Amino acid sequence: MTRLYLIRHAEAEGNLYRIAQGQDNSNLTDRGWRQVRALERRFADIPVDAVYASDLYRTCATASALYQPKGLPLHRRTDLREICVGSWERRTWGDIARESPEQMDAFSHHPERWHVEGAETPEQVLERVLKAIETIAAEQAGKTAAVVSHGYAIRLLLAHLQGIPLEKLGETPTGDNTAVSLLEAEEGVLRVVFRDDNRHLKTPEFLAGEKVRRRANALEPGLWFRPLQLPQQADTLRELLEGREAGFDAERLLSDAAGQMTLVGYLREEPVGVVQLGPEPERICRLWIRPDCRRRGFGTQLIGQAVQNARQSGKERLIAELEEEHPAAGFFADHGFRPAGTLADGRRYLEKNIGFLPEFLSCTL
């Protein structure tokens, strides 16, 4: 009997920032790394003979929970990658839902109807992932292997093995990040023993590190962004910033926006927040969420835009400027920013490392 543990990667930036990852590389979040440690604890006493992963960063990093403590090599396979979503990659789900609501719905609920320029079809993904799993099962005949892949790819495979047609995929669950499924292979036949088990994320040790973090409502696809257009949108920005703490100079922000990148985040057609970057591409000089839109995960998505902007400019850190005793200090701390120094004008600055660990990189960014 051959046993294959099929594992979804840990929480990555795209999951947190509501960005379509597809086959693009994204880093693990702080929570994702805690999930990796929880996965390592789960498998500490489970014998594993071989570890496989897709060659994308988020799966290779997750696989370190198994291959590193067990002293095994990591076998990287491109055919275990997530579905390529073509022109959707690196775009926010809010942007996609605004432009293509029917295709957005089809992606989740009716994959047989889904088609996007430059993307794979679900049938193509299933074909390559199934072939990869069958090959791994043959290579590890009579042994136990762990295979780290991606949410959509795993969902397609499990549904197929359970006899669920593509038209019914929308009725099946998507496992949590690092959820574990077990397959058994005998005489060339694969069967699902269990699927999407996340018991290692329910232990007191893991839950002790959990923070109550509000995310966008499940019915909301998230935000979409566009650069602030001046002077046309000056009144829009003034309205958005209404109620800002005493002493805030909206006119100064407008003046600065003329020479810096200022992104406005929209929920459907309503502006809900703004992030201003610069003068360096890795610097957040202002971030603001409309008071009635707070505690819904939108600030996290603004951080995500700053991360993308900095990384596309080749930066490995993100800096946030804060005034002394700024009320947003806790928010930035929750998102991985740590005190790093003081500016000449007395303001503090915080830093967040957004660099990739080179040992988990195997494909071009």
For residue 216, is it within any domain? no
pLDDT in the model for residue 365: 45
In a domain, 185, yes or no: yes
Task: Determine the Cα angle at 196 with ends 124 and 164, to 5°.
Answer: 45
Same domain flag for 13 and 52: yes
Task: List, edge to edge, every strand of the sheet that includes 283-289.
Answer: 224-227, 261-267, 270-277, 283-289, 317-322, 348-353, 338-342
**Per-residue confidence in pLDDT tens, the chain, 365 aa:** 999 999 999 999 999 999 999 999 999 999 999 999 999 999 999 999 999 999 999 999 999 999 999 999 999 999 999 999 999 999 999 999 999 999 999 998 999 999 999 999 999 999 999 999 999 999 999 999 999 999 999 999 999 999 999 999 999 999 999 999 999 999 989 999 999 999 999 999 999 988 755 555 555 679 999 998 777 677 777 777 665 544 445 566 666 666 678 899 999 999 999 998 988 889 998 888 888 888 889 999 999 999 999 999 999 999 998 766 667 788 898 999 998 888 777 778 899 999 999 999 875 44
195 in any annotated domain? yes
- Overall number of domains in the chain: 2
Pairwise CA distance, residues 355 & 243, whole Å: 36
Residues 22 and 141 in one domain: yes
Domain boundary (141, 175, 207) is at 207
Q: Are residues 183 and 250 in the same domain?
A: no
Per the DSSP assignment, residues forming a β-bridge with 286 are: 276
The secondary structure of 22-87, three-state, reads CCCCCCECHHHHHHHHHHHHHCCCCCCCEEEEECCHHHHHHHHHHHCCCCCCEEEEHHHCCCCEHH
pLDDT in tens, 23-61: 999 999 999 999 999 999 999 999 999 999 999 999 999
What CATH number does residue 319 fall under?
3.40.630.30
Shared-domain flag, residues 167 and 46? yes
SS3 263: strand
The reported pLDDT for the residue numbered 363 is 59
- Say what percent of the chain tops pLDDT 90: 70
| 195 and 278 part of one domain | no
**Is residue 95 located within the same domain as residue 234?**
no
Task: State whether 97 and 186 are in the same domain.
Answer: yes
The answer to the question of residue 152 being in a domain is: yes
- Within this chain, do residues 181 and 324 fall inside the same structural domain, yes or no? no
Which stretch of DSSP H or E encloses residue 108?
A: helix 101-109
Answer yes or no: pTM beyond 0.75.
Answer: yes
Domain end, chosen from 151, 176, 207, is at 207
Q: Which two tokens stand for residue 86?
A: 């073509």
| Per-residue model confidence (pLDDT) at position 156 | 97
Give the integer Cα–Cα distance in Å for 198 and 363: 29
Which pLDDT value is given to residue 132?
98
CA distance 150 to 81: 7
Which domain range does residue 279 map to?
224-360
Residues 58, 11 share a domain: yes
Per the structure block, which two tokens stand in for 50? 């071989």
Statement to judge: residues 247 and 200 lie in one domain:
no
Q: In this structure, is residue 215 part of a structural domain? A: no
pLDDT at residue number 330: 85
> Where residue 29 sits, what CATH number does that domain have?
3.40.50.1240
- 34 and 211 Cβ atoms separated by less than 8 Å: no
Answer with the one of 207, 238, 263 that is the final residue of a domain.
Answer: 207
Q: Does residue 365 fall inside a structural domain?
A: no
Q: Same domain for 282 and 189?
A: no
5: CB partners within 8 A, 6+ apart: 43, 46, 48, 144, 145, 146, 147, 180, 181, 182, 183
Long-range contacts of 167-175 (CB under 8 A, 24+ apart): 167/110, 167/112, 169/111, 169/122, 170/108, 170/109, 170/110, 170/111, 175/8, 175/151
Whether residue 290 is found in the same domain as residue 163: no
